[in-house]
Structure 1
Amino acid sequence: MSEYLEVTARTIGCFFLLYIGTRILGKQLISQMTNIHFIASISMGTIAANLTFNTPIKVVNFILAFVIIVMIALAGVTMSARSKEARKFFGGCPTPVIKDGQVLEENMINLHFTIDYVNQLLREKDIFNIEEVQDAIVEASGKLSVLKKPLYREVTKQDIKIAEAEQTNRPVELIVGGAVLEANLMQHNLSLLQLELDKQKLLLNEVDYAVIGSNGKVYILSNKDSKQ
Structure 2
Amino acid sequence: MNEWTHIIVSSVLFVVTLFAITKIGGKKQLAELSFFEYVSGITIGSIAGEVIMGLDGNLFHGVLAIVIFGSFTYLHDLIGIKSKKFRDFFEGKATVIIKDGKVMEENLKKEKYTIDELNSLLRQKNVFKTADVEFAVLEPKGDLSVLLKKEVLPLTAKDLNLPVAPEKESYTVIMDGNVLNDQLAAAGKTKGWLDIELTNLGVTLDNVFLGQVDSYGKLFIDTYDDQLQVPSPQPRKLLLAMLNKCQADLELFALATESSSTREMYNKNARKLQEAIQKLKPFLKE
**Fold-level similarity (TM above 0.5):** yes
1:136 positional shift: 0.9
In the TM superposition, residue 147 of structure 1 has moved relative to its aligned partner by: 0.9
Deviation at 1:103, TM superposition (A): 0.9
Q: Report the counterpart of residue 51 of structure 2 in structure 1.
A: 51
Distance 1:58 1:96 in 2: 49
Shift of 1:26: 1.6
**What is residue 246 of structure 2 aligned with on the other side?**
none
CA deviation digits over 1:24-74, x for unaligned, max 9? 112222222111211121111111222321121100111111111111111
Q: Please, which runs of 5 or more residues in structure 2 have no aligned partner?
A: 163-286
Matched to 1:93, the amino acid is: K
Following the alignment from structure 2 to structure 1, what is the Cα–Cα distance between the partners of residues 18 and 152? Answer: 44
SS in 2 for 1:79: helix
Q: 1:12 to 1:155 in 2, by over 3 A?
A: farther
- 5 Å-filtered alignment, 1:89-104, equals 89-104=89-104
Q: State the Cα distance separating 1:152 from its structure 2 match.
A: 2.0
Q: Distance in 2 between matches of 1:101 and 1:23?
A: 43
Q: Which residue of structure 1 aligns with residue 66 of structure 2?
A: 66
Instruction: Describe the shift of the 1:107–1:157 C-alpha distance in structure 2 as closer, same or farther (beyond 3 A).
Output: same
**Contact map agreement 1:29 1:41 (CA 8 A) in 2:** no
Q: What residue is the counterpart of 1:76 in the other structure? A: 76
Residue 228 of structure 2 corresponds to which residue in structure 1?
A: none
Cα separation, 1, equivalents of 2:52 and 2:60: 13
Q: Which has the larger radius of gyration?
A: 2
Pair 1:160–1:13, CA change in 2 (3 A): farther
The aligned counterpart of 1:12 is 12
- How many angstroms apart in 2 are the aligned matches of 1:155 and 1:32? 32
Q: Percent identity?
A: 31
- Deviates most, 110-119 or 143-152: 143-152
Q: Does 1:29 align with 2:14?
A: no
Measured in 1, the distance between the counterparts of 2:159 and 2:47 equals 53
Cα distance in 2 for partners of 1:101, 1:139 equals 18
**1:147 aligned counterpart, secondary structure:** strand
Q: Following the alignment from structure 2 to structure 1, what is the Cα–Cα distance between the partners of residues 117 and 33?
A: 20
Runs ≥4 residues deviating over 3 A: none
Maintained 8 Å contact 1:14/1:51: no
Task: Give the number of aligned pairs.
Answer: 162
Secondary structure of 1:158's aligned partner:
coil
Residue type at the aligned position of 2:112: H
Compute the TM-score of the two structures, normalised by the length of structure 2.
0.54
Instruction: Name stretches of at least 5 consecutive residues in structure 1 with no aligned partner.
Output: 163-228
Contact 1:80 1:87 in 2 (8 A): yes
Contact 2:102 2:130 in 1 (8 A): no
Instruction: Give distance in 1, aligned partners of 2:29 and 2:36.
Output: 9
Match of 2:2 in 1: 2
Partner of 2:148: 148
Task: Check the 8 A contact 1:11/1:51 in 2, yes or no.
Answer: no
Give CA-to-partner distance per residue, 1:178-227, whole Å, 9 cap, x none: xxxxxxxxxxxxxxxxxxxxxxxxxxxxxxxxxxxxxxxxxxxxxxxxxx
1:54–1:156 CA distance, 2 compared to 1 (3 A): farther
Letter of the 2:27 partner, please give it: K
> Bigger relative contact order, structure 1 or 2, given CA contacts below 8 A and separation 6+?
1
RMSD, aligned α-carbons: 1.5
2:102–2:131 CA contact under 8 A, matched in 1:
no
Q: Counterpart of 1:46 in structure 2: which amino acid?
A: S
* Residue correspondence of structure 1 range 175-186 to structure 2 within 5 A: none
